[in-house]
């Protein structure tokens, strides 16, 4: 899935630069405690798959939590 997301982001002209694993882990911890996280692993606010979105440097939480 991550390779597909990289291809889509690249096609849209977005950066595919990744954060360090510790940063991703902290982002995931924030998301996993959030009331907006659905059981499917998607964010209710933006619809993203948090497991993928948390990997990228250019991404932000729609609630400004990270």
Cα maximum dimension of the chain: 32
pTM for the predicted model, two decimal places: 0.86
3-state DSSP assignment of residue 18: strand
Q: Does residue 59 form part of some domain? A: no
Q: Does residue 12 form part of some domain? A: yes
Q: Does residue 58 form part of some domain? A: no
Q: Measure Cα distances from 41 to 10, 13, 15, 35 in Å.
A: 23, 25, 23, 12
- What pLDDT, on a 0 to 100 scale, did the predictor assign at position 25? 98
Q: Does residue 61 form part of some domain? A: no
Query: pLDDT tens digits for the chain (66 residues)?
Result: 678 988 998 999 999 999 999 999 999 999 999 999 999 999 999 999 999 999 999 999 999 999
Distance from the first to the final alpha carbon of the chain: 23
Burial of 25 (0-12, 13-18, 19+ CB in 10 A): exposed
Q: Which range marks the domain in which residue 13 is found?
A: 2-53
Q: How many domains does the chain have?
A: 1
Q: Does residue 65 form part of some domain? A: no
């Amino acid at each position: 899935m991550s390779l597909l997301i990289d291809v889509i982001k690249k096609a849209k002209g977005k950066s595919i630069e990744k954060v360090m694993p510790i940063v991703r882990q902290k982002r995931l911890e924030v998301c996993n405690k959030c009331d907006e996280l659905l059981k499917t692993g998607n964010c209710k606010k933006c619809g993203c798959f948090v497991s993928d979105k948390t990997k990228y440097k250019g991404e932000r939480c729609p609630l400004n939590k990270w």
